[in-house]
Amino acid sequence: NAGVTQTPKFRVLKTGQSMTLLCAQDMNHEYMYWYRQDPGMGLRLIHYSVGEGTTAKGEVPDGYNVSRLKKQNFLLGLESAAPSQTSVYFCASKLAGGDEQFFGPGTRLTVL
Amino acid sequence: GENVEQHPSTLSVQEGDSAVIKCTYSDSASNYFPWYKQELGKRPQLIIDIRSNVGEKKDQRIAVTLNKTAKHFSLHITETQPEDSAVYFCAASLGGGADGLTFGKGTHLIIQP
């Protein structure tokens, strides 16, 4: 039982490049979330999903797209990376009706 | 939307003393208030949480208190130890719902030997 995993762990991009971050969970959770963490800012919600094929915007969605084609996976895409997207990205999941969110180990992204 | 304020941003205490971190929230509909501990380079780890139908919850050296009327909640750590050094985050949400957590900006707790 791996819990929540994220791929990759680290990535360096040049401005304008694109990439996709993968989040996977094996707990059969319905809800999944993407957060970003910047120094001194705490974690902020980017997008979330309540089930396969559904997504919704969070607090800071601009510049990101997401997809949830399978219940266990939640993808975060950057179509044209900008230096302002340099951050640590955390994925989380939880059961529908539950309280606790379970976090992945994070992806450290640097955009030059 | 919800707004969570957290104080202080840095807290230094002597080993064995108590530490208190305070948070306020703005949305009276929020009913779930978790606290996370994050060590450098690691993921946030839930250490304790409380729902709005409870005023206080304790787990060994850690306790959380909630004042719904004033919309504030606090984390209390007693008999602090070196391994308590970390960044602590409070958060608020509509528990059980799909909405994500709204986090405070964090408190860097330093335990002085």
What are A64-89's pLDDT values in tens digits? 999 999 999 999 999 999 999 999 99
Q: How far is CA B50 from the centre of its chain?
A: 10
Å between B98 CA and nearest CA of chain A? 6
Answer yes or no: is pLDDT of B78 > 90: yes
What average pLDDT does range A36-65 have in this prediction?
95
A12 to chain B, any CB pair closer than 8 A? The answer is no
Which of A99, A102, A107, A108 to mutate to probe the B interface, most B CBs <10 Å?
A: A99
Answer yes or no: is pLDDT of A98 > 80: yes
For residue B27, give Cα distances in angstroms to A43, A105, B92, B98, B101.
18, 29, 9, 16, 12
Å between B32 CA and nearest CA of chain A? 7
In which residue are the tokens 């490049």 written? A17
Which residue did the predictor score with more confidence, B97 or A96? A96
For residue A83, give Cα distances in angstroms to A10, A36, A43, A66, A111.
15, 14, 18, 20, 5
Interface subset of B 39-98, CB within 8 angstroms of A? 42-46, 49, 51, 89, 91, 95-96, 98
What average pLDDT does range A93-99 have in this prediction?
92
Per-residue confidence band for A39, with pLDDT thresholds at 50, 70 and 90: confident
Specify the pLDDT at position B54: 86
Mean pLDDT of chain A: 96
CA distance A69 to A101: 21
Specify the pLDDT at position A78: 97
Answer yes or no: is pLDDT of A107 > 80: yes
Q: What is the DSSP letter of A105?
A: -
Interface contact flag, A90 B51, Cβ < 8 Å: no
Q: What is the DSSP letter of A93?
A: E
In which residue are the tokens 């060994």 written? B60
**Nearest in space to A102 (alpha carbons), one of A39, A46, A30, A52:** A30
Interface contact flag, A104 B43, Cβ < 8 Å: yes
Å between B29 CA and nearest CA of chain A? 15
CA distance B37 to A15: 33
Specify the pLDDT at position A34: 98
Interface contact flag, A42 B104, Cβ < 8 Å: yes
Specify the pLDDT at position B96: 72
- Tens of pLDDT, residues B27-56: 999 999 999 999 999 999 999 999 988 899
